[in-house]
């Protein structure tokens, strides 16, 4: 499986819940993008571009929070590239499970883990220089924080994502398929 997909890869499977969960069993980070202006299309027919809009304030389908096909999606899973057992790392180097080669992001910026006692997914800032933010609040270094569907995660305030469990992403995308 590739390290990065687009929302289009997921949208094509958003018809059958069971098949979707089998194909995409891990949580994801969906890159947050600005809502595009409506595209007049050929002959000015008024077609809109689907865009992710976690605020729900954009035009057309984007106002429903439906991602467009080119939005990057990063599966939150162990790629085998890092040496930290049980941690899914994110940072600007290729040694991370989720590589984000963006200035301002630390080499090993943050990591995801599953609490062995509760099964809860957590996010941990790795004492990064520019911080990791969950819902706009800066996380304390090395302190696990529980994750829930639809939370906005920002790494160094330069890369924003929305976190989804497979079920939450399926619900969002299946609503687009029914529209």
Predicted confidence (pLDDT) per residue in 56-103, tens digit: 343 334 444 555 567 899 999 999 999 999 999 999 999 999 999 999
Residues 54, 95, single domain; the answer is no
DSSP 17: H
Please check whether residue 168 is in contact with residue 151, taking contact to mean a CB–CB distance below 8 angstroms: no
Range of the domain at 146: 76-164
73 in helix, strand or coil?
strand
Helix (H) or strand (E) holding 156: none
The C-alpha torsion from 4 through 149 and 103 to 107, rounded to 10°, is -80
Residues 91, 41, single domain; the answer is no
Residues 80, 68, single domain; the answer is no
Question: What's the pLDDT at 99?
Answer: 95
14 in helix, strand or coil?
coil
Residues 55, 125, single domain; the answer is no
Helix intervals (H) in 7-105 = 7-11, 17-23
- Does some domain include residue 88? yes
Question: If we measure between CA atoms, which residue out of 151, 97, 107, 100 comes closest to residue 128?
Answer: 107
Number of domains in the chain: 2
- Does some domain include residue 87? yes
| Boundary residue ending a domain (28, 43, 72) | 72
For 132-174, how does the pLDDT look when each residue is reduced to its tens digit (9 = 90+)?
999 999 999 999 999 999 999 999 999 999 999 999 999 988 8
pTM equals: 0.79
For 93-127, how does the pLDDT look when each residue is reduced to its tens digit (9 = 90+)?
999 999 999 999 999 999 999 999 999 999 999 99
- Does some domain include residue 176? no
Residues 60, 96, single domain; the answer is no
Residues 159, 86, single domain; the answer is yes
- Does some domain include residue 169? no
| Boundary residue ending a domain (29, 53, 72) | 72
Question: What's the pLDDT at 87?
Answer: 97
Helix (H) or strand (E) holding 118: none
Residues 93, 159, single domain; the answer is yes
Counting Cβ atoms within 10 Å, is residue 90 exposed (0-12), middle (13-18) or buried (19+)?
buried
Residues 63, 81, single domain; the answer is no
Distance CA 19, CA 3 (A): 20
pLDDT tops 70 at residue 46 = no
Residues 68, 80, single domain; the answer is no
| Boundary residue ending a domain (72, 101, 123) | 72
């Amino acid at each position: 499986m590739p390290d990065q997909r687009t929302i289009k890869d997921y949208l094509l499977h958003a018809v059958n819940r069971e098949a979707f969960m089998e194909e995409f069993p891990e949580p994801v980070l969906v890159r947050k993008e600005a809502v595009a202006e409506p595209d007049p299309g050929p002959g000015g027919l008024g077609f809109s571009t689907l865009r992710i809009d976690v605020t729900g304030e954009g035009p057309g389908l984007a106002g429903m929070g439906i991602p467009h096909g080119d939005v990057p999606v990063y599966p939150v899973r162990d790629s085998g590239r890092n040496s930290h057992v049980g941690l899914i790392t994110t940072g600007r180097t290729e040694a991370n499970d989720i590589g984000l080669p963006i200035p301002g992001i630390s080499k090993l910026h943050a990591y995801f883990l599953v609490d062995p006692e509760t099964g809860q997914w957590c996010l941990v800032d790795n004492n990064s220089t520019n911080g990791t933010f969950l819902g706009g609040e800066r996380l304390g270094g090395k302190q696990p924080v529980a994750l829930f569907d639809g939370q906005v995660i920002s790494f160094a305030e330069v890369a924003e994502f929305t976190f989804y469990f497979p079920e939450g992403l399926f619900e969002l995308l299946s609503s687009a398929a029914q529209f």
